């Protein structure tokens, strides 16, 4: 994968970097953060005395989604004619679009470059690997969006704010423990999101959503004992989907999940390596094994091919699923999976 680094920033890139840094800062420090990052950019770019700023200036070597932009939206429209089946598309990282009987649910969408910009000045650059499937403002038919936890690839202001603007009736489902944080990041009223905790359920626009624990890296609770990272079980008509969020295995995990007849498990496979200095996830072997353990009829891997420093090839996942006899499907970004493909 070729990297593209630039010593020079356009005014748009510069203001985007400053804005990302400000967003990451506590409210009272925002103005100062903007000034300091601005000066830092001038120094680095203007005098070129430090290492160059990592900013992708070309997408020539990036992975192309199978369907992107107009083609992706045309496929979503076309799928509506097949209302007896549930359809889902991988949007990259942990993002999925689910379509059931004309209703649309988004899981953890990350449809911006906010992390690439946020970490551009650091020793942990988030060099993007796959092009974006679609701009969030073009998804103007979404009923519900979920966030599994507060990390930006699962709660992205630059995705969710345009999405909220494009969908005035949009419902946002989050872990109840994260309500204040989410309201601050998205600049929405604290009462706006629909909160869930482990063991609780919501019915939203025809989707029944249940909260289950996630361990990223451990099962973490707030002062009131509420889980800060969740997975979601989504029931849509006769179909049951498990979107684990970012998680490793934890004690009792299989027993928790065996309560549901999971048709499709959406599981991360990027693993957990200390040298990445980020919280980890299941690796491919663990994801395939968990899917088998909970009796999932199909498992689809995710959370790979987005950032160079934090990815894993799906081969180990594929090999383990094969050994276990666990049905699986590896999607490309922008590719649709439909329940019409489930045998029997
Ligand atoms: Zn993540």
The CA 47 to ligand 1 mean position distance, Å, reads 35
The CA 110 to ligand 1 mean position distance, Å, reads 10
CA end-to-end span of the chain, whole Å?
A: 41
Q: How far apart are CA 171 and CA 150, in angstroms?
A: 17
Banded model confidence at residue 56, pLDDT cuts 50, 70, 90:
low
Gyration radius (Cα) of the chain, Å: 20
Banded model confidence at residue 34, pLDDT cuts 50, 70, 90:
low
The CA 244 to ligand 1 mean position distance, Å, reads 11
| CB contact at 8 A, 269 and 91 | no
What are the φ/ψ torsions at residue 120 (nearest 5 degrees)?
A: -60, -30
Per-residue model confidence (pLDDT) at position 215:
95
| CB contact at 8 A, 302 and 272 | no
The CA 301 to ligand 1 mean position distance, Å, reads 13
Residue with the two structure tokens 């920033």: 9
User: What does the domain layout of the chain look like in residue ranges?
Assistant: 10-59, 70-339
132 pLDDT higher than 80: yes
Q: How far apart are CA 204 and CA 209, in angstroms?
A: 8
- Kindly state the average pLDDT of the residues 24-36: 67
> Which one is predicted more confidently, 189 or 61?
189
- Kindly state the average pLDDT of the residues 226-232: 97
274 pLDDT higher than 90: no
Q: b/e map of 267-289 (b: 16 or more CB within 10 Å)?
A: bbbbbbeeeeebbbbbbbbbbbb
For 53-139, where are the alpha helices, taking DSSP H only?
69-79, 114-118
pLDDT tens for each residue of 65-75: 999 999 999 99
Q: How far apart are CA 37 and CA 65, in angstroms?
A: 33
| Cis ω before 18 (30° cut-off from 0) | no
Per-residue model confidence (pLDDT) at position 340:
84
| CB contact at 8 A, 325 and 289 | no
In 127-214 the beta strands, taken as DSSP E runs, fall at 144-146, 171-175, 194-196, 201-204, 207-213
> Which one is predicted more confidently, 218 or 13?
218
Residue with the two structure tokens 């590719």: 335
Q: How far apart are CA 164 and CA 155, in angstroms?
A: 13
Cβ neighbours of residue 183 closer than 8 Å, sequence gap 6 or more: 189, 190, 192, 193
Kindly tell me the sign of the dihedral angle through the C-alpha atoms of 47, 50, 56, 58.
positive
231 pLDDT higher than 60: yes
User: With pLDDT > 70 as the criterion, what percentage of the chain qualifies?
Assistant: 82
Q: Indicate the pTM of the whole model.
A: 0.84
- Kindly state the average pLDDT of the residues 94-117: 97
DSSP H or E segment with residue 300? strand 298-302
134 pLDDT higher than 70: yes
Q: How far apart are CA 83 and CA 124, in angstroms?
A: 44
The CA 190 to ligand 1 mean position distance, Å, reads 24
The CA 310 to ligand 1 mean position distance, Å, reads 9
Q: How many CB atoms lie within 10 A of CB 85?
A: 16
Banded model confidence at residue 6, pLDDT cuts 50, 70, 90:
very low
What's the gap between Cα 42 and its chain centre?
A: 33
What is the edge-to-edge ordering of all strands in the sheet holding 171-175? Answer: 194-196, 171-175, 144-146, 103-107, 95-100, 87-92, 336-338
> Which one is predicted more confidently, 106 or 7?
106
The CA 229 to ligand 1 mean position distance, Å, reads 11
The CA 343 to ligand 1 mean position distance, Å, reads 31
> Domain 70-339 carries which CATH code?
3.60.15.10
The tokens of 62 are what?
């990036």
The CA 304 to ligand 1 mean position distance, Å, reads 9
pLDDT tens for each residue of 183-220: 999 999 999 999 999 999 999 999 999 999 999 988 99
The CA 246 to ligand 1 mean position distance, Å, reads 6
pLDDT tens for each residue of 90-101: 999 999 999 999
């Amino acid at each position: 994968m070729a990297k593209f680094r630039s010593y020079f920033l356009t005014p748009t890139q510069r203001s985007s970097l400053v804005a990302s840094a400000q967003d990451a800062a506590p409210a009272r420090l925002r103005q100062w953060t903007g000034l300091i990052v601005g000066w830092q950019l001038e120094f680095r770019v203007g005098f070129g005395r430090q290492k160059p700023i990592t900013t992708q200036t070309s997408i020539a070597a990036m992975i192309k989604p199978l369907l992107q932009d107009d083609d992706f939206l045309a496929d979503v429209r076309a799928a509506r004619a097949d209302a007896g089946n549930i359809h889902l598309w991988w949007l990259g990282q942990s993002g999925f679009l689910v379509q059931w009987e004309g209703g649309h649910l988004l899981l953890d969408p990350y449809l911006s470059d906010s992390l690439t910009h946020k970490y551009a000045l650091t020793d942990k650059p988030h060099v993007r690997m796959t092009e974006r499937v679609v701009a969030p403002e073009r998804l103007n038919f979404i009923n519900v969006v979920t966030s599994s936890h507060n990390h930006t690839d699962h709660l992205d202001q630059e995705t969710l704010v345009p999405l909220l603007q494009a969908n005035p009736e949009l419902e946002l489902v989050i872990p109840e423990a994260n309500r204040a944080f989410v309201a601050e990041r998205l600049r929405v009223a604290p009462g706006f999101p629909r909160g869930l905790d482990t063991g609780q359920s919501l019915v939203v626009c025809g989707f029944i959503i249940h909260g289950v624990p996630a361990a990223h890296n451990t099962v973490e609770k707030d002062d009131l004992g509420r889980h800060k990272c969740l997975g979601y079980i989504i029931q849509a008509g006769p179909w049951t989907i498990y979107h684990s969020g970012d998680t490793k295995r934890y004690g009792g995990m299989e027993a928790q999940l065996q309560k549901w007849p999971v048709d499709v498990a959406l599981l991360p496979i990027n693993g957990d390596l200390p040298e990445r200095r980020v919280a980890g996830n299941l690796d491919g072997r663990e994801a395939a094994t968990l899917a088998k353990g909970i009796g999932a009829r199909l498992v689809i891997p995710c959370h790979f091919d987005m950032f160079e420093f934090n990815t894993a090839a799906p081969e180990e996942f594929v090999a383990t699923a094969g050994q276990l006899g666990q049905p699986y499907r590896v999607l490309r970004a922008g590719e649709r999976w439909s329940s019409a493909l489930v045998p029997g």
